[in-house]
Amino acid sequence: MKRGHEHLPPDPTPEPELGTLPGETVAVKPITTPPSFEEELRGLLNRHSVENASNTPDFILVTFIQNVLIDYGHAVRARDKWYGEERS
């Protein structure tokens, strides 16, 4: 059952935001995501010019450091297992 107003086109003028006047625009702050670990590490390496010592591009150093951290985690778990201190 139709109520009568459903055939009307939508109002082209949207309701104003709370605290604004009709016709006034509101600046919308874009949603930003925090930088990833890789982006932060790359920035840190670049700020301190760490890549200059080895003449290695920052993305290669980032991958290397990430792999070292992963491998260290495996080594710690293997050590804990050896000593019977297995953790989850």
Each of the 88 residues of the chain gets a pLDDT tens digit; together they read 555 556 666 666 666 666 667 767 767 778 888 899 999 999 999 999 999 999 999 999 999 999 999 999 999 999 999 999 866 5
- Domain-located, residue 42: yes
- Domain-located, residue 66: yes
- Domain-located, residue 45: yes
- Domain-located, residue 5: no
- Domain-located, residue 16: no
Task: Give the burial string for 47-76 (b: 16+ CB within 10 Å, else e).
Answer: eeeebeeeeeebeebbeeeeeeeeeeeeee
- Domain-located, residue 78: yes
* Total count of domains within the chain: 1
- Domain-located, residue 31: no
Which pTM was predicted?
0.58
Domain enclosing residue 70, as ranges: 37-82
